[in-house]
Amino acid sequence: MTRFAKLIAVAAGLLSATSAIAAPATADKLWRLDCGTVHVNVLNAFSDTQSYPGQARDLAASCYLIKHGATYMLWDTGLPLAMKGAPDDRTKPMSPTLRLSITEQLATIGVKPEQVTMVGISHYHFDHTGQAADFAKAKLFIGQGDYDALKQGGSGADARPLAPWFGGGSPIEGVSGDKDLFGDGSVTMIDLPGHTPGHHGLLINLAKTGPVLLSGDVAHFHENLDSNGVPGFNTSRAESLASMDRFRKLAASLKAIPVIQHDSRDIAKLPAFPAAAD
């Protein structure tokens, strides 16, 4: 073989390897679950520039079940069961209520809580951790910044909903940066800090649907994301703006379906439960 032919063969091998790396595996199914509603009676709580005077809005609390082979993973765990059937209280800035538990919805599709062996949490706020303890045997994945804040008891960081992992001995991993959860590119936690120190989104690759990019709380509704609106309770304004920029650009470059988890307009992009995206 001539030197030139050898170079061609090496280049072809590199191209083949690159193509293999660039083609991630896919998860089997993605279900969206109803994990409550938060009636926001003072929408300015979500704007440090007071952009929504006198406005109110319902924010969905959504969770997601992912099937990857024989493994079930839950992304976010919604409002606490104590809020089931809670009435709307217009005297409060925010009034959360829950209609169905996660375990009730899983029973509809024949999945038992103990079959869920992985739980990913976008961040430590109560509307994303509320029912985590129902899956106490699962391994918990949470951003390292949030893990540290929960260990230290920082302002707004309440570890009690995650007690099985914080003191209870259940397996937990703090995630720094992006994390390929199955090692095959099918499901990746995406580093999007700012709302909380270790806030993450989730990228799921599906065979038919294509990539789906779940926001966590990088933004709470379209108007926030479109205007770079930052809630006053975010832990870093600069990181929030950078993460919104990354979320938008990542969705565009991957041609992913972006889903703002609190915006019902985006949640409706996925099939209504019990149907699943595949």
Looking at residue 84, the DSSP 8-state letter turns out to be B
Q: Which residues contact 42 (CB under 8 A, 6 or more apart)?
A: 56, 93, 94
pLDDT digits (tens, 9 = 90+) for 29-67: 999 999 999 999 999 999 999 999 999 999 999 999 999
Distance CA 143, CA 183 (A): 18
**Tokens encoding 230:** 């930052």
pLDDT at residue 77, rounded to an integer: 98
Output 219 or 19, whichever has higher pLDDT: 219
Instruction: List residues bridging with 134 in a β-sheet.
Output: none
Distance CA 121, CA 216 (A): 9
pLDDT digits (tens, 9 = 90+) for 58-112: 999 999 999 999 999 999 999 999 999 999 888 889 999 999 999 999 999 999 9
Q: What is the mean pLDDT of the chain?
A: 92
pLDDT digits (tens, 9 = 90+) for 195-224: 999 999 999 999 999 999 999 999 999 999
pLDDT at residue 83, rounded to an integer: 96
> For the chain, which domains are there?
27-267 (3.60.15.10)
**Tokens encoding 142:** 């949470």
Residue 19: is its pLDDT beyond 60? Answer: no
Taking alpha carbons only, the member of 52, 43, 49 closest to residue 93 is 43
Backbone dihedral angles phi then psi of residue 242, each to the nearest 5 degrees: -65, -40
Instruction: List the 210-214 sheet strands across, edge first.
Output: 179-180, 187-191, 200-206, 210-214, 257-259
**Tokens encoding 221:** 């509704």
Mean pLDDT of 108-134: 98
Q: Which residues contact 134 (CB under 8 A, 6 or more apart)?
A: 77, 101, 102, 103, 113
Residue 261: is its pLDDT beyond 90? Answer: yes
Residue 8: is its pLDDT beyond 70? Answer: no
pLDDT at residue 22, rounded to an integer: 57
In whole angstroms, how far apart are CA 185 and each of 44, 162, 204, 205, 276? 38, 27, 9, 8, 20
